[in-house]
């Protein structure tokens, strides 16, 4: 690695000191404050820290923390990897991550969707992973079509290789100006934000279609079917042909080989994350047979899917921040268990809770439901309209204490989730 200039070295060292003090005083993991201190002293520090590294940036509305962790786990097969493991996904967090592993030849950085153009420009990353776009924190981030448009502009004219989910029309549009794209069919269960063509505004047709698995053309293989095809009725914009395909519990690679994932992380969403991770690892020269065992080692990500225990009650923690995220969380619920729902509306969550009305909560009928969090009354009204019986609790602790000994699932949005983690010593 190229040695940093003296000013950058000093900024990096003082940032690490601030992060250490933050952890020592129990104020957090220090990744944000450390980066902020460093950037005050050297505003160009991110560019300097990124120089000469093989970097991948990971951005999406949902799943970016987990996918960052999966890619990092895979690339550790090649050497040390700098990463923002706990989701500090703005430039201050990136500075902390790269500063903390200053000799790592590889870096995998989760990036907030809004900040992606700025971070691409600062780091000149060779690889960018784009997975999904749906409405989230609209009081802060704005319309997702505008985000996709900013992605297009940021990628145009750059020698950047993009790994993109071909099943999401907005992601496809955002990625299509890149010089090189590896398309992955990772699915798009939440389609409510992409019924219109981002290119011309016309309606998108979505239908099943036949496809020949990658690498099997001319081999006599029979076509399969996919429900993920889409095409605009009024212009030529349509779903590109994917090189990688998520096929139930397996991934089909560009040579037509089918790899059973057998992950320890639950749910369809994490299988989609793994498909993106495997495609990314191959761009770095790491074949599936070496990357996949590393992915199978991951059991939880920054508290997600962790089980915590109190007085004989075992609570599995699930994070859901927006309608698409709740849909994915419902996919991994155990239907035999009670569920605690906790919703806040602080700055990191977005102040507007109207998105609750876009979530179909009827799937929760027939099981005990407990509602907590600062905006529990907003959620309670939504459940009442959906015909879902529930019990209100003044706090998560009260909701947990109301359960009989045994297992319970918990779904919480961002700050509610972090508050619960703090109660249990920030379980990871």
Residues making up the binding site for Zn(2+): 197, 200, 232, 235
- State the DSSP H helix or E strand holding residue 210, giving kind and residue range, or none if neither: strand 204-211
| Dihedral angle computed from the Cα positions of residues 161, 167, 171 and 174, in that order, rounded to the nearest 10 degrees | 70
Q: Is the dihedral of CA 38, 42, 142, 107 positive or negative?
A: negative
Catalytic positions, written as ranges: 352
Residue 406 region by backbone torsions, left for phi larger than 0, else alpha for psi between -120 and 50, else beta = left
Contact present, 188 and 167 (Cβ < 8 Å): yes
Residue 224 burial class via C-beta count within 10 angstroms: exposed 0-12, middle 13-18, buried 19 and up: middle
Residue 101 has phi, psi (to 5 degrees) of -130, 65
Q: What is the 3-state secondary structure (H, E, C) of 68-117?
A: HHHHHHHHCCCCCEEECCCCCCCHHHHHHHHHHCCCCCEEEEECCHHHHH
For residue 232, the SS3 value is strand
Q: Of 170, 160, 167, 169, nearest to 184 (Cα)?
A: 167
Beta-bridge partners for 318: 411
Q: Of 340, 349, 342, nearest to 316 (Cα)?
A: 340
Residue numbers in the known binding site are: 197, 200, 232, 235
């Amino acid at each position: 690695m190229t040695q940093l200039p003296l000013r950058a070295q000093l900024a990096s060292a003082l940032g690490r000191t601030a992060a250490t003090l933050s952890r020592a005083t129990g104020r957090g993991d220090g990744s944000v404050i450390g980066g902020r201190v460093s950037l005050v002293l050297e505003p160009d520090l991110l560019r300097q820290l990124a120089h000469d590294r093989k970097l991948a940036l990971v951005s999406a509305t949902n799943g970016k923390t987990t996918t960052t962790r999966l890619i990092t786990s895979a690339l550790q097969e090649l050497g040390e990897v700098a990463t923002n493991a706990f989701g500090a996904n703005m430039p201050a967090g990136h500075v902390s991550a790269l500063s903390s592993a200053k000799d790592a030849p590889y870096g995998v950085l989760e990036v907030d969707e809004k900040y992606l153009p700025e971070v691409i420009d600062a780091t000149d990353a060779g690889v960018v992973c784009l997975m999904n776009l749906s409405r989230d924190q609209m009081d802060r981030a704005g319309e997702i079509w505008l985000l996709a448009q900013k992605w297009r502009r940021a990628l145009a004219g750059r020698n950047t290789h993009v790994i993109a989910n071909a099943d999401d029309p907005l992601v496809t549009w955002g990625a299509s100006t890149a010089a090189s794209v590896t398309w992955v069919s990772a699915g798009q269960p939440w389609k409510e934000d992409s019924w219109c063509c981002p290119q011309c505004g016309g309606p998108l047709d979505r239908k099943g279609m036949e496809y020949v698995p990658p690498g099997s053309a001319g081999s006599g293989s029979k076509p399969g079917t996919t429900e993920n095809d889409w095409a605009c009725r009024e212009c030529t914009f349509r779903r590109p042909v994917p090189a990688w395909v998520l096929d139930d519990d397996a991934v089909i690679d560009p040579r037509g080989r089918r790899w059973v994932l057998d992950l320890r992380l639950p749910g369809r969403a994490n299988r989609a994350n793994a498909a993106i991770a495997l495609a990314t690892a191959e761009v770095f020269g790491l074949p599936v047979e070496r990357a996949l065992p590393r992915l199978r080692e991951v059991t939880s990500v920054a508290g997600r899917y962790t089980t915590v225990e109190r007085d004989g009650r075992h609570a599995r923690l699930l994070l859901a921040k927006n309608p698409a995220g709740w849909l994915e969380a419902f996919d991994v619920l155990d239907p035999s268990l009670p569920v605690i729902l906790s919703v806040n509306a602080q700055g990191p969550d977005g102040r507007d809770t109207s998105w609750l009305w876009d979530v179909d909560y009827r799937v929760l009928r027939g099981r005990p439901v407990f509602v907590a969090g600062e905006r529990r009354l907003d959620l309670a009204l939504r459940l009442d309209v959906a015909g879902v019986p529930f019990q209100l609790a003044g706090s998560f602790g009260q909701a947990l204490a109301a359960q009989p000994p045994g297992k319970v699932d918990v779904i919480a949005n961002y700050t509610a989730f972090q508050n619960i983690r703090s109660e249990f010593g920030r379980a990871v």
